Chains A and B, each alone.
Chain A
Amino acid sequence: MVKHIVQFLTSLKLTVACLAVSMVLVFIGTLAQVDEGLYTAQERYFKSFIIYLEPAEADWRFPVFPGGYLVGVVLLINLLAAHGKRFKITKKKLGIFMIHAGLILLLVGQLFTDLLSRESALEFEEGQSKNYSEDFRKNELVLIDKSAPDSDKIISIPESRLRNGSLIEDSNLPFNIKVHDYWSNSDISGTEKPDSVKTDATQGPAKDFFVLPMPPVTEMNRRDLPSAVIELFDGDQSIGTWLTSAVLKPQTVSHEGTDYEIVLRFQRYYEPFSLTLLKASHDKYKGTELPKNFSSRVRIQNQETEEDREVLIYMNHPLRYGGLTFFQFQMAADEAMQRAGMIPTSTLQVVRNPTWLTPYLACIMVGLGLVVQFMMHLLGFLKKQRNRPKAQSPRSPNKTKAGKHSPSSEEQSGKSTTSATS
């Protein structure tokens, strides 16, 4: 039994099966992006163990295909098992070994990247300083107590806790929050529109507004804008009901003599340093609308290290600082805007990825391995060609021989490499 399992886990057939499954997976995962958008498709097909069939209206789901994680894990086990069982490093197998070790590093590295990396955006106007970036997808409901003179107290409630009808109680909160309604993507308007909803908000400047629920966005360059209707309670006593939304400004709630700002906003990540946008430049090729370069001149100020310097961030030249990488992402700074008197803005993509070096190492290993392996083959082939007597060149066929040929009985020409992996 154990022998069978070991044989199965180390077999080349399993490798081939995994590769075939991953082909199908990558293909359907790519096509699915047209309808589902890159993010959803990525989560559903590549960052999952099982892909389920789940019709939009149904409350059941049915597993149909292995997901990216499952294939990756099986492939990893297969690789490790095969190497553990029958691999000895010899000169002949050095290349193969390096390739597979590199692949293992790549797979493991990507798994850690998925687990540990975080992407956010830092959007600022020229002259503006910021010490935080905002998540691309996640949102938070925030209460800000501004009563202290030199610092604000911020209490953040992650979006995942905002579910219809849920009650949020916490000792840090000055009051309890009941979520009446929550829309993951929405628009707000002052007038009624088809499909828009009148909320039961009783307080705040937005109490008469309408919420227009929207389907989740699929485009890469847009994001969902959630809205929620929340009721605040002092114990069992209702203070009032507010409409909060990512499209609305903070609203003030007074409670027991303290003013709180309450807002539903993009989740923020604070850093111990600040960036100031000094200049945003959007260059175009003369006579066209084609962008030639986007660049942001930025000042870094870090009170801890007393650092204060300027740096230029532009296409293909990110800034790596404080464990984060800042990439030039978007920009609104062209001539038309400047003529209209608007302040140029720049958006940096901020990535925290502690394992960013692993693909580099993996690539070097695999690349070298491939070169070593194929060079050995090529040299062997050339040597054979040179040693082959002229008379046996294929263009002087011995016609009586031709009849004996049958491809199925032919000696495997890939034999020399078979030995390398088995």
Chain B
Amino acid sequence: MKKRLPFIILAIFTLWALSSLRGPKAPEGIDHVGFGKLPVLLNGRIQPMDSVAMNALLQLRGTRKVPLEGNNGTGEWGDFLEIRGEGNGLLTERSWYQFSKHPKKLSSTQWLLELMTRPDQANERYIFAVNHPDLIGELGLGEAGLDRSGLRYFTFSEIEPHLATIEKHASSLNPKPELRTPFERAVAKIHFSLGLFLRLKNSLQPQDSPDFSAELEEYVANIGPGIEAVRNRESGNEYDEEAFGSLMRHLERYDMVSRVAYPLLVPPDIKTMERDQWSNVGTNLLDAVHTKRFPAAIQNYAAMSTAYTKDDAQAFSTALSTFRNSLAKDFSSELRKAKLEFAYNHFSPFYKSIVLYLVAFLFACASWFNLSQWMNRSAHYLIILAFIIHTAGLITRMVLEGRPPVTNLYSSAVFVGWGAVILGIVLERFYRDGIGSVIASVVGLITLIIAHNLSMQGDTMEMMRAVLDTNFWLATHVVVITLGYSATFVAGFLALVYVTRGLLTKTLDQATAKGLTRMVYGIICFATLFSFVGTILGGIWADQSWGRFWGWDPKENGALLIVIWNALVLHCRWGGLVKDRGLMNLAIFGNIVTAFSWFGVNMLGIGLHSYGFMDAAFRWIVLFTASQVAFIALGTLPLKLWQSFKTDTTGAAS
């Protein structure tokens, strides 16, 4: 049985992973899944409506779904809209012990569809994350909103009365984002969120349109008389005041849409325009004054909107399929791309990998304690499964972007993990002692969690700004240097294993210790090779694009630090300045150096390379550095305190 156990475990998890590969089924009511697959242009790239929704919701709320049910303060469970109210206390989401409850949730696309077509309803959803206590106090929202273990979410209706206050604070923000106080950052975030919300609301139609199809009909019918009225008015003649007023009211609202609409929904006329010249609903409606007609896309979207407000699933599906068919002729590649990205969003390969790495990590750690082979093998198999999914995710991203794997901070996190997992798997194949598995799963897990947090900042497949728009250098310099990060982290984490196991457990026997030393040494050689070659390639790229090989820019210096550090470790080893434990402590310090080079320099907010500025991670960097310093301190404790080596001094090898 124990022999087969690893295979059974692998099979269960494989089935779990494959189960969502088919994507969500078409729902019975309104076909929001089909809506989510529609291609639009945003951030300079074609993407499905679903990605617009998901990235927006991640930015606003930090989650991919919007819960509709939960508890109120009196302990009653139900739909938030029904159970909230004066005296009912603060709403809370499902608590961990309420496992029998399965709250209804809106998917990101459902939420976006509602926001675009039924804003009155969307205004009541708890989607604005505000967590700074001073800001909540300033806005007088202490009694309002929804609570989830201390995180607070509010509806637009709750925030709306305080827009002026937010605007006032936002106008006095420090112009340099890196110098803002936590309160200012909270203000900037809610200000940005409100802007995004407004733009999405006015992307498909003006936010105050109760029946968009009917409105468009009225508008078209009114253009002729309206224009005549305008002409008459201009030439001082008598004019139809009603037609004039009606046209002006329409134009004013469409002008607003043309200025704030977020995704570009209307495909170009392929006969006369470039493929990427998508446009928003507003500009097309304004143009209609001259042409008296508008693109089929708008009519179809309007029909979908009207069908949604009337909850007419049949009419919605008809409009949706008419639109899809109209796209199929000239925009089949855009449709395919949107569909692929939709499938990618729903398969969420990196989320699945996180789960698998976590399970594998537990198996691998457990295997050290009872030395059981089946756990070790289960861990190894699960890591290989996770790695396959991880790789599939990477490749899908590359296909969607048409780029090498690393294009921004987010993808660098995904790729650092990927490189580390390969190294871990290779180590495991050589040594078969669970160490490679632990490394692969831990680094894979941590880097993917980092990536997940980075994805909160918006679209992770944004276009490359001019100087980075070169697949050659992205494929060489960036990939090689990122693998250098991977290797340095792997060496550092191997050393952590050495210290933890040696100090706290009796499992670090001679063979394992020797093996670990050899691994760390070999991986550091590998890291030196990659970080050096990567840094040099970066220098050559800089020479090609900025006219100097080396400019002492923070990111360049960060890379240089890794190279010097690895070289230093190797020379210490060769010169006999350090033995095994010294090597381990140096390798742990390599983690700090790499973390600084990878994230720390971005926080300085200066230099030519500062494309990926971020401030929230600063605390984590400090914590990580402190933890590594603590490990180094532990690593220098006298040998008699080490559980694994204790027996040496007593000589009693029992």
A residues apposed to B, CB below 8 Å? 11-13, 15-16, 19-20, 22-23, 26-27, 29-31, 33-34, 38, 41-42, 46, 110, 113, 117, 119, 220, 284-288, 290-294, 315-318, 325, 327, 349, 351, 353, 356, 359-360, 362-363, 366-367, 370-371, 374, 377-378, 381, 385, 393-395, 397, 399-408, 410, 412-414, 417-418, 420-422
Q: Is B548 among interface residues, defined by CB-CB distance under 8 A? A: yes
Q: In the complex, how many angstroms separate the beta carbon of B88 from the nearest chain A beta carbon? A: 44
Cβ-defined contact, B433 with A395, below 8 A = yes
Cβ-defined contact, B532 with A366, below 8 A = yes
CA of A401 to CA of B653 in the docked complex: distance in angstroms? Answer: 8
CA of A220 to CA of B610 in the docked complex: distance in angstroms? Answer: 12
Q: Is the interface of A mostly helix, strand, loop or mixed?
A: helix
CA of A42 to CA of B554 in the docked complex: distance in angstroms? Answer: 11
Residues from chain B with a CB closer than 8 A to the CB of A422 are: 574-575
Q: Is B402 among interface residues, defined by CB-CB distance under 8 A? A: no
Residues from chain B with a CB closer than 8 A to the CB of A385 are: 430
29 A–B pairs (Cβ distance < 8 Å), ordered by A: A15-B575, A16-B568, A29-B557, A113-B549, A119-B547, A119-B548, A285-B43, A285-B44, A288-B44, A290-B462, A327-B547, A353-B547, A359-B543, A374-B526, A395-B373, A395-B433, A399-B509, A401-B509, A401-B511, A402-B510, A402-B653, A405-B510, A406-B639, A406-B648, A408-B579, A410-B513, A413-B517, A414-B521, A418-B575
Residues from chain A with a CB closer than 8 A to the CB of B647 are: 403
Cβ-defined contact, B575 with A16, below 8 A = yes
Q: Give the contacting residue for B540; candidates A13, A286, A363, A403; CB below 8 A.
A: A363
Cβ-defined contact, A13 with B552, below 8 A = no
Q: Among the interface residues B45, B278, B521, B548, which one has the most CB atoms of the partner chain A within 10 A?
A: B548
Q: In the complex, how many angstroms separate the beta carbon of B262 from the nearest chain A beta carbon? A: 9
CA of A285 to CA of B462 in the docked complex: distance in angstroms? Answer: 10
Q: Give the contacting residue for B432; candidates A42, A46, A294, A395; CB below 8 A.
A: A395
Query: Of all chain B residues, which has the CB nearest A221?
Result: B608
Q: Is B150 among interface residues, defined by CB-CB distance under 8 A? A: no
Cβ-defined contact, B510 with A401, below 8 A = yes
Q: In the complex, how many angstroms separate the beta carbon of B540 from the nearest chain A beta carbon? A: 7
CA of A420 to CA of B45 in the docked complex: distance in angstroms? Answer: 53
Q: Is B260 among interface residues, defined by CB-CB distance under 8 A? A: no
Given A316-B544, A356-B549, A359-B543: A31 and B579 interface contact (C-beta under 8 Å)? no
Cβ-defined contact, A394 with B463, below 8 A = no
Given A110-B549, A413-B521: A286 and B41 interface contact (C-beta under 8 Å)? yes
Q: Is B226 among interface residues, defined by CB-CB distance under 8 A? A: no
Which residues of chain B (535-553) have a CB below 8 Å from chain A? Answer: 536-537, 539-541, 543-553
Cβ-defined contact, B547 with A366, below 8 A = no
Cβ-defined contact, A292 with B469, below 8 A = yes
Q: Is the interface of B mostly helix, strand, loop or mixed?
A: helix
Q: Give the contacting residue for B533; candidates A20, A370, A408; CB below 8 A.
A: A370
Cβ-defined contact, B543 with A408, below 8 A = no
Which residues of chain B (565-612) have a CB below 8 Å from chain A? Answer: 565, 567-568, 570-577, 579-581, 593, 596, 601, 604-608
Cβ-defined contact, B606 with A33, below 8 A = yes
Q: In the complex, how many angstroms separate the beta carbon of A385 from the nearest chain B beta carbon? A: 6
Q: Is B431 among interface residues, defined by CB-CB distance under 8 A? A: yes
Q: In the complex, how many angstroms separate the beta carbon of B625 from the nearest chain A beta carbon? A: 13
Q: Is B560 among interface residues, defined by CB-CB distance under 8 A? A: yes
Interface flags, B63-79, vs A, CB<8A=1, else 0 = 00000000000000000
Query: Of all chain A residues, which has the CB nearest B561?
Result: A26
Residues from chain A with a CB closer than 8 A to the CB of B278 are: 286-287
Cβ-defined contact, A15 with B564, below 8 A = no
Q: In the complex, how many angstroms separate the beta carbon of A330 from the nearest chain B beta carbon? A: 11
Residues from chain B with a CB closer than 8 A to the CB of A20 are: 568
Cβ-defined contact, A38 with B606, below 8 A = yes
Q: Is B522 among interface residues, defined by CB-CB distance under 8 A? A: yes
Nearest 4 pairs between A and B by C-beta?
Answer: A403-B653, A285-B44, A405-B510, A12-B575
CA of A291 to CA of B462 in the docked complex: distance in angstroms? Answer: 12
Query: Of all chain B residues, which has the CB nearest A294?
Result: B466
Residues from chain A with a CB closer than 8 A to the CB of B41 are: 286-287
Given A316-B473, A395-B432, A402-B653: A285 and B463 interface contact (C-beta under 8 Å)? yes
Query: Of all chain A residues, which has the CB nearest B43?
Result: A288
Cβ-defined contact, B466 with A407, below 8 A = no
Q: Among the interface residues B278, B509, B570, B604, which one has the most CB atoms of the partner chain A within 10 A?
A: B509
Q: A394-B431, A408-B639 are known contacts; what are 16 more A-B pairs with Cβ within 8 Å?
A: A15-B571, A16-B568, A27-B557, A30-B554, A285-B43, A285-B44, A286-B276, A315-B469, A315-B545, A356-B549, A359-B543, A359-B550, A363-B539, A405-B510, A410-B514, A413-B521
Given A110-B549, A402-B510: A370 and B606 interface contact (C-beta under 8 Å)? no
Q: In the complex, how many angstroms separate the beta carbon of A10 from the nearest chain B beta carbon? A: 11
Cβ-defined contact, A293 with B469, below 8 A = yes
Query: Of all chain A residues, which has the CB nearest B565?
Result: A23
Residues from chain A with a CB closer than 8 A to the CB of B44 are: 284-288, 290, 292
